[in-house]
């Protein structure tokens, strides 16, 4: 069971990397909204098939918290648009490491939104995470010639991290009462609709290879989400968490293999600082996950009596 969970988590990380590689390959040729639509709409196919296999479709889509889903989907959709937009300007590895700031930002948001107590150690982790980001960006800011496109990418990646943090907080709340499949389905559906609406601003006619990339991004994203869900059913969150960093390794490999980009020293120092910050925060989040599971189990038992 443990080995199965680990293999599924590695597979999920790999397919998420495949997804962002396809998106980056499309960045110059296909409008952003069109990419979001294909990624989300195509992802619904494996997701619905998976929900049918687990007998959660359509019954598992029922919800008692529609507004909660609206809030989660809105924040997640903004994060997805910003994430894909940033890939036009940033190497995959840089976009990935800035994305790791999401749990750090979630600490800041958790206090006003959830009323959580933030310890001194976690505030230190927040400071360390943002120091890591400054280390990454500083060489571009102090260069003789300002790299505006890179800074635009950093700004978009930061927007992605902020809204991802907000979405994660909302998911944490929804997961106490809602089916995981419903949370994923409504998010993909919302992003599909948002992406489709951009057709009024003009879509491109993709070439055959671009169409493969568009569909590939959707299938890879859908498969990755399913594998992530199955991994959590076979193993504990705390045991799977370290495997999240494989996404950075995969991104560095993809940058070198496809785009001939080699990370510099600032990237490695930034990665070290942000990873330490994530580990500091994750230590408490793993304990909270166990508590949330107990609360969810109690809620289910109460609702059945």
Each residue's pLDDT tens digit, 215-259: 999 999 999 989 988 887 777 766 777 777 788 899 999 999 999
CA–CA gap between residue 15 and residue 219 (Å, rounded): 9
Each residue's pLDDT tens digit, 193-204: 999 999 999 999
Q: Which of 291, 48, 71 is nearest to 188 (CA)?
A: 48
Q: Rounded mean pLDDT of 255-267? A: 91
Each residue's pLDDT tens digit, 42-64: 999 999 999 999 888 888 888 88
Q: What is the pLDDT of residue 283?
A: 66
Q: Residues 6 or more apart from 266 whose CB is under 8 A from it?
A: 135, 136, 138, 139
| Contact yes or no for 177/299 (Cβ under 8 A) | yes
User: Model's pTM, two decimal places?
Assistant: 0.86
- Identify how many contiguous H helices and E strands the chain contains and give both numbers: 12, 0
**Count of CB atoms situated within 10 Å of the CB of 146:** 11
CA–CA gap between residue 17 and residue 92 (Å, rounded): 9
Each residue's pLDDT tens digit, 130-187: 898 889 888 877 776 778 899 999 999 999 999 999 998 888 888 888 888 888 899 9
Q: What is the pLDDT of residue 298?
A: 41
């Amino acid at each position: 069971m443990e080995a199965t969970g680990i293999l599924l988590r590695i597979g999920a990380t790999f397919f998420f990397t495949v997804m962002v590689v396809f998106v980056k390959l499309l960045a110059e040729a296909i409008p952003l909204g069109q990419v979001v639509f294909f990624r989300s709409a195509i992802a619904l196919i494996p997701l619905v098939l998976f929900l049918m296999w687990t007998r959660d479709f359509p019954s598992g889509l029922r919800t008692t918290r529609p507004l909660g889903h609206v809030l989660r989907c809105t924040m997640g959709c903004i994060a997805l648009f910003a994430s894909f937009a940033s890939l036009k300007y940033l190497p995959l590895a840089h976009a990935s490491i800035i994305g790791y700031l999401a749990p750090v930002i979630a600490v800041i948001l958790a206090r006003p939104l959830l009323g959580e107590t933030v310890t001194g150690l976690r505030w230190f982790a927040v400071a360390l995470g943002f120091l890591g980001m400054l280390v990454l960006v500083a060489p571009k800011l102090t260069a003789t010639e300002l790299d505006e496109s890179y800074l635009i990418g950093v700004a978009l990646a930061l927007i992605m991290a902020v809204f991802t943090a907000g979405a994660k907080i909302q998911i944490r709340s929804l997961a106490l009462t809602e089916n995981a499949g419903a949370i994923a389905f409504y998010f993909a559906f919302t992003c599909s609709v948002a992406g489709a609406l951009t057709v009024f601003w003009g879509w491109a006619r993709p070439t055959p290879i671009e169409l493969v990339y568009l569909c590939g991004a959707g299938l890879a994203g859908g498969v990755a989400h399913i594998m992530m869900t199955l991994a959590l059913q076979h193993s504990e969150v705390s045991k799977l968490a370290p495997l999240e960093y494989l996404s950075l390794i995969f991104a560095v490999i993809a940058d070198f293999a496809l785009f001939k980009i080699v990370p510099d020293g600032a990237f490695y120092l930034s990665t070290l600082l942000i990873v330490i910050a994530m580990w500091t925060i994750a230590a408490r989040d793993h304990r909270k996950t166990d508590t949330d599971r107990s609360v969810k189990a109690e809620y289910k038992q109460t609702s059945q009596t």
